[in-house]
C-alpha cells in the first residue's frame, strides 16, 4: 500500500498546547516572578482544584505517577516480605512501586473484555502476606470496583487505585481516585491531563494518610528541618502545578472529545469482523485515554499502517511477568493467558481531543486495508 497524503500521528501535543499557549505562558510568568518552584502556593492551588475534580477530600502533588504509587504503598506500611496484588497487563511502574517497598508483586489475570483486574481471580491470590490490592483503571476505564472492594473488605486489605490513565473516569457516578483508600495519578505529558514534564498526584479521604505522604514526599519532614521518618524528594514542581491548573480547566471538554472520537471509531468499525472494538462496561464511563482494538497479525498491521502514514502504538507488548526484570518470580508463558493474548493482539489507534473526524475516517480506512484477509 502507498502512503496517504494526510499523515495521522498517534499523538499531537503541539496542537493541544498551541490552543492553550496564552494561559500556559501566563502561568509560567507567575511562577517565575514569585520564584515558587518547589512545592509552594501553585502546588497547593492545584491540589485543591484536583481534589475537587476527583470528588476527593485531599490531593497531594508528587513528582510522578510512580512516586504516587510508591509513596501510597509506603504510607500504608507495605514493606519487606509483604505481597501486593495487581495485574501483569499494565505499565511497569505499577509493579516497580511494589518492589521499591521491598514487597513482592502478585499478579492476577485480567478480564477478557475490559482488560482490567478480573475479580474472579482475586480471592485465590490473597494470602496472609497480602498488604494491598492495586486495580489498574486501564486505557481510561475503571476496574470493577464493587467486586474488588467487597473481596478486599472481607480480608481487611486496602485498595490502591492505579488511576494513572483514568483522569475523570467514573464508576457508577464515582470518580476515579475517590473509591479506594488512595488513588494514584500520573500527569505524564501524553495522559488525558498531562504536565509539560513529569508530575503525579495522590488522592485520599484519610487525614492520616495525607500527613504521611506529605512527609514522605519531602524527605520525611513534618516541619522545616524536622524529619519524622526517612522520606524522599518527590515534590511536585511549582511550574508543573501552575501549568496543570490551566489544563485542568479544559479536561472535561477534552474527555468529551475523546468519547466522541471513540463513538465514531465504534460506528466506522461496526461492520469489520476482524476487529474487536473496546468494550465499555455498563458500570463505568471511560475517558478513552487509549482506544485499543484487537486485531490479527497485530505487529504486521502496525508496520503496514505506519507505511501508509498512520502511526499507531502498542500498550503493552510484553506483560510484566514475562519481562526480564521480573524473571525471578518464575512465571513463564501461559501463567496469565488472557493478559498474554491481549498483549499479542491489542493495537492502540490515534485518539486525542484535537483529532478531526476526517482523520479518524482515514485511520479506519487504512486499518481495514492493512488487516490480513
44 within some domain: yes
- Report pLDDT for 211: 97
Q: Which stretches of the chain drop beneath a pLDDT of 50?
A: none
5 within some domain: no
128 within some domain: yes
For residue 334, the domain's CATH number is 3.90.1150.10
One domain for residues 44 and 147: yes
One domain for residues 148 and 81: yes
d(CA 133, CA 139): 19
One domain for residues 206 and 301: no
1 within some domain: no
Of 149, 187, 174, 170, residue with least CA distance to 60:
187
For residue 95, the domain's CATH number is 3.40.640.10
Q: What is the pLDDT of residues 55-85, one digit of tens each?
A: 999 999 999 999 999 999 999 999 999 999 9
6 within some domain: no
- Report pLDDT for 6: 82
d(CA 253, CA 275): 28
Domain boundary among 205, 221, 248: 248
Q: In terms of DSSP H, where are the helices of the chain?
A: 13-34, 41-54, 65-75, 93-100, 119-122, 145-155, 207-216, 238-248, 251-269, 298-307, 337-345, 357-370
List of residues 6+ apart from 181 with CB closer than 8 A: 76, 158, 159, 160, 204, 205, 206, 209
d(CA 162, CA 284): 15
One domain for residues 195 and 72: yes
One domain for residues 272 and 208: no
One domain for residues 88 and 171: yes
- The count of domains in the chain is 2
Pairing verdict, β 58-62 and 200-204: antiparallel
Domain boundary among 230, 248, 266: 248
One domain for residues 204 and 269: no
3 within some domain: no
- Residue 336 is part of which domain span? 251-370
Domain boundary among 225, 248, 271: 248
List of residues 6+ apart from 262 with CB closer than 8 A: 278, 286, 288, 291, 351
Model's pTM, two decimal places?
0.96
One domain for residues 106 and 73: yes
d(CA 286, CA 169): 5
One domain for residues 158 and 229: yes
Q: ω into residue 316 within 30 of 0, thus cis?
A: yes
CB-count exposure of residue 263 (10 Å: 0-12, 13-18, 19+): exposed
Beta bridge partner(s), residue 140: none
List of residues 6+ apart from 6 with CB closer than 8 A: 309, 358, 359, 362
d(CA 184, CA 204): 9
87 within some domain: yes
One domain for residues 85 and 123: yes
One domain for residues 275 and 227: no
List of residues 6+ apart from 119 with CB closer than 8 A: 144, 147, 148, 151
One domain for residues 73 and 170: yes
DSSP for 91-103, written as a single string: -THHHHHHHHTT-
Amino acid at each position: 500500500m502507498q502512503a496517504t497524503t494526510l499523515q495521522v500521528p498517534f499523538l499531537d501535543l503541539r496542537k493541544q498546547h498551541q490552543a492553550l499557549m496564552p494561559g500556559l505562558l501566563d502561568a509560567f510568568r507567575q511562577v517565575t516572578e514569585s520564584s515558587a518552584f518547589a512545592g509552594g502556593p501553585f502546588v497547593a492551588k492545584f491540589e485543591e482544584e484536583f481534589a475537587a475534580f476527583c470528588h476527593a477530600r485531599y490531593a497531594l502533588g508528587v513528582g510522578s505517577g510512580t512516586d504516587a504509587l510508591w509513596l501510597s504503598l509506603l504510607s500504608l506500611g507495605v514493606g519487606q516480605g509483604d505481597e501486593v496484588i495487581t495485574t501483569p497487563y499494565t505499565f511497569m511502574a505499577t509493579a516497580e512501586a511494589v518492589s521499591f517497598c521491598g514487597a513482592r508483586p502478585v499478579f492476577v489475570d485480567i478480564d477478557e473484555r475490559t482488560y482490567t483486574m478480573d475479580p474472579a481471580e482475586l480471592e485465590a491470590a490473597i494470602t496472609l502476606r497480602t498488604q494491598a490490592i492495586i486495580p489498574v483503571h486501564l486505557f481510561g476505564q475503571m476496574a470493577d470496583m464493587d467486586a474488588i472492594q467487597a473481596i478486599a473488605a472481607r480480608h481487611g486489605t486496602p485498595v490502591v487505585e492505579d488511576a494513572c490513565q483514568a483522569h475523570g473516569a467514573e464508576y457508577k457516578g464515582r470518580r476515579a481516585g475517590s473509591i479506594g483508600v488512595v488513588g494514584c495519578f500520573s500527569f505524564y505529558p501524553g495522559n488525558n491531563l498531562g504536565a509539560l514534564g513529569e508530575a503525579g498526584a495522590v488522592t485520599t479521604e484519610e487525614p492520616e494518610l495525607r500527613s504521611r505522604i506529605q512527609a514522605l514526599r519531602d524527605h520525611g519532614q513534618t516541619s522545616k528541618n524536622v524529619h519524622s521518618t526517612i522520606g524522599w524528594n518527590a515534590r511536585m514542581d511549582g511550574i508543573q502545578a501552575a501549568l496543570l491548573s490551566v489544563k485542568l480547566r479544559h479536561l472535561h471538554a477534552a474527555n468529551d472529545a475523546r468519547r466522541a472520537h471513540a463513538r465514531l471509531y465504534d460506528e466506522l468499525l461496526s461492520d469489520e469482523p476482524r476487529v474487536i472494538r473496546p468494550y465499555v462496561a455498563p458500570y463505568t464511563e471511560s475517558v478513552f485515554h487509549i482506544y485499543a482494538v484487537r486485531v490479527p497479525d497485530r505487529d504486521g498491521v502496525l508496520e503496514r499502517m505506519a507505511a501508509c502514514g498512520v502511526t499507531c502504538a502498542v500498550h503493552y507488548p510484553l506483560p510484566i511477568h514475562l519481562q526480564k526484570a521480573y524473571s525471578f518470580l518464575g512465571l513463564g508463558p501461559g501463567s496469565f493467558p488472557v493478559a498474554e493474548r491481549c498483549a499479542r493482539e491489542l493495537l492502540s489507534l490515534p485518539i486525542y481531543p484535537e483529532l478531526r473526524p476526517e482523520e479518524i475516517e482515514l485511520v479506519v480506512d487504512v486499518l481495514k486495508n492493512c488487516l490480513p484477509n
